[in-house]
Amino acid sequence: MTSLEQKILALVSQIPKGKITTYQIIAHKIGNKNLARAVGNALNKNPQLITIPCHRVVRNDQKVGNYAKGLAKKIKLLQNEGILINGEKIANFYSCLYHFN
C-alpha cells in the first residue's frame, strides 16, 4: 500500500462505533477534497475489514456506498452499530456524522 493509502486507513481506524464519515471528509482531512475517489480505492484495498472499519465511510449524498463484501453486508454492519438505513440512504446521517479533530 502507498503511504497515502496507509494514511487513509489510519484515519478510518479512528471512526468510533455508531458513527459514520464520508469519502469527502476523509479526502479533506488528508489535504485535498478532490481525492474522494482515492479514498474509496484505498478502502477497497483494506486488508482488515473489521479492525479498520471502512463500512463506516459513506457517500456525501447520504447513500451507503460500496463495500468490498457487498451492499447488504455494509448495511447490516451499520445497522448493528445503530445507524438507521432507509433503502440505501442513512436516515440519521447528520446525527451520526463524524468529523476528525
Residues acting as catalytic residues: 54
CA distance linking residue 93 with residue 84, whole number of Å: 8
C-alpha distance across the termini of the chain, in Å: 25
**Beta-ladder partners of 93:** none
* Contact between residue 35 and residue 27 where contact means Cβ atoms under 8 Å apart: yes
Secondary structure element (H or E) that encloses residue 8, with its range: helix 3-12
